[in-house]
């Protein structure tokens, strides 16, 4: 017997009186709780894009700390496009979800080559850019170009759920989106969505999070000890070595990450898990793999000899900085001996 088909929730738009009342409430609450954030002081499309990407799943306070240092180093889309990816990733540290930095750089490259170093203002062109989804595209159009649209961001969703759908559960975005579109003030989309964001932020401090009634709501697993945390640690480690022109093997990364995990009171990490994460990071463009020659069954790497002698037998090549490592286990040869460095492009 198949699973029951879920019935679509009806979309109930506001009448004129309800619309006027809702807009008056949001404008009042938003203005009273306005946050003077640095990215709101200018309408520069690049700064709007940067703020929208940085604020995805990252607290405002953390974005504020990284905002000006980022602009000091990458003041324009052209500057970001020309920067080495390794440096972009290094500057991104502290914001989390490093794939956003890669997508942001790719967007800058597209704008540099196709749009004269500027962001387009047309929705189809924006949403085609790497890492730019519907909400980000709508945010750019509203905050940089003053154009209305469906900016379905988490705080906006919070306001709609609290004020207009207070008695509904498991509310899908198919129900919320038409209300976001209808209520957007066409005379000032920029100011309107700032008011929605600030009122939503207030609600999250004042009442139990209304977003828990969204069908999209999920409770994120703890970061510490998670695969996400290990990904972030490995990116930082590879970047730190790459800055010095050094590469690092899976074995060394496994040993160093294991020590960090043990110091935090958690179990050490297996080589298979580290290799799996590094493979994912390679696919995401966050690390680069260094080709290594094989000599007479030995593996040559430029990583220092700090591995446990019980794991590998090793001897240093005396006339160069290279180190020959002979692996005893065929699985370890294919997995642990891979060598990694920071991405360059």
User: Where does the pLDDT of residue 331 fall: very low under 50, low under 70, confident under 90, or very high at 90 and above?
Assistant: very low
Using the 8-state DSSP alphabet, how is residue 187 labeled? Answer: T
Task: Provide the number of structural domains found in the chain.
Answer: 2
**Domain check: are 245 and 115 in the same one?**
no
Domain membership of residue 23 (yes or no) is yes
Domain membership of residue 3 (yes or no) is no
CATH number of the domain that residue 168 is part of: 1.10.340.30
**Domain check: are 45 and 177 in the same one?**
yes
Q: Tell me which of 213, 247, 279 is where a domain ends.
A: 213
Question: 300-321 as b/e, with b when 16 or more CB fall inside 10 Å?
Answer: bbbbeeebeeebbebeeeeeee
Tokens of 218: 């999920």
Active site residues: 52
User: Where does the pLDDT of residue 286 fall: very low under 50, low under 70, confident under 90, or very high at 90 and above?
Assistant: confident
Across residues 214-228, what is the average pLDDT? Answer: 69
Q: Which domain holds residue 266?
A: 227-341
**Domain check: are 60 and 116 in the same one?**
yes
How would you class 187 by CB atoms within 10 Å of its CB: exposed for 0-12, middle for 13-18, buried for 19 or more?
exposed
Q: What is the pLDDT of residues 138-188, one digit of tens each?
A: 999 999 999 999 999 999 999 999 999 988 887 888 999 999 999 999 999
Angle at the Cα of 132 (from 128 to 133), degrees rounded to 5? Answer: 95
Q: Who wins on pLDDT, 26 or 278?
A: 26
Q: What is the pLDDT of residues 34-47, one digit of tens each?
A: 999 999 999 999 99
Q: Tell me which of 213, 237, 255 is where a domain ends.
A: 213
Q: What is the pLDDT of residues 176-195, one digit of tens each?
A: 999 999 999 999 999 999 99
pLDDT at residue 304 in the model: 36
Q: Tell me which of 187, 213, 239 is where a domain ends.
A: 213
Q: What is the pLDDT of residues 83-141, one digit of tens each?
A: 999 999 999 998 988 999 999 999 999 999 999 999 999 999 999 999 999 999 999 99
Average pLDDT, the chain: 83
């Amino acid at each position: 017997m198949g699973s029951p088909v879920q019935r679509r929730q009806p979309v109930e738009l506001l009448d004129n009186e309800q619309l006027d009342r809702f807009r008056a409430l949001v404008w009042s609450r938003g203005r009273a709780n306005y946050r003077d954030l640095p990215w709101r002081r200018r309408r520069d499309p690049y700064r709007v894009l940067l703020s929208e990407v940085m604020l995805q799943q990252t607290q405002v306070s953390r974005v504020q700390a990284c905002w000006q240092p980022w602009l000091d180093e990458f003041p324009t889309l052209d500057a970001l496009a020309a920067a080495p990816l390794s440096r972009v990733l290094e500057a991104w540290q502290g914001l989390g979800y490093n794939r956003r930095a890669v997508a942001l750089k790719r967007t800058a490259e597209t704008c540099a080559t196709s749009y004269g170093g500027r962001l387009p203002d047309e929705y189809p062109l924006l949403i085609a850019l790497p890492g730019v989804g519907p909400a980000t595209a709508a945010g750019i159009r509203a905050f940089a170009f003053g154009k209305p649209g469906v900016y379905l961001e988490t705080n906006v969703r919070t306001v709609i759920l609290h004020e207009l759908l207070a008695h509904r559960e498991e509310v899908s975005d198919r129900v919320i989106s038409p209300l976001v579109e209808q209520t957007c003030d066409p005379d000032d989309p920029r100011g309107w969505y700032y008011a929605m964001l600030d009122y939503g932020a207030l609600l999250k401090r004042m009442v139990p999070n209304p977003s828990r009634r969204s069908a999209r709501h999920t409770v994120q697993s703890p970061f510490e000890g998670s695969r996400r945390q290990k990904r972030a640690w490995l990116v930082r480690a590879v970047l730190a070595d790459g800055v010095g022109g050094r590469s690092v093997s899976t074995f060394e990364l496994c040993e160093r990450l294991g020590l960090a995990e043990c110091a935090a009171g958690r179990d050490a990490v297996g080589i298979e898990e580290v290799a799996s994460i590094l493979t994912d990071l390679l696919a995401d463009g966050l690390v680069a793999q260094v080709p290594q020659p094989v000599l007479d069954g030995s593996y040559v790497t430029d990583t220092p000899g700090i591995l446990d002698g019980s794991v590998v037998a090793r001897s240093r090549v005396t006339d160069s900085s290279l180190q020959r490592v002979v692996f005893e286990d065929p699985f370890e040869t294919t997995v642990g001996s891979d060598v990694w460095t920071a991405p360059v492009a």
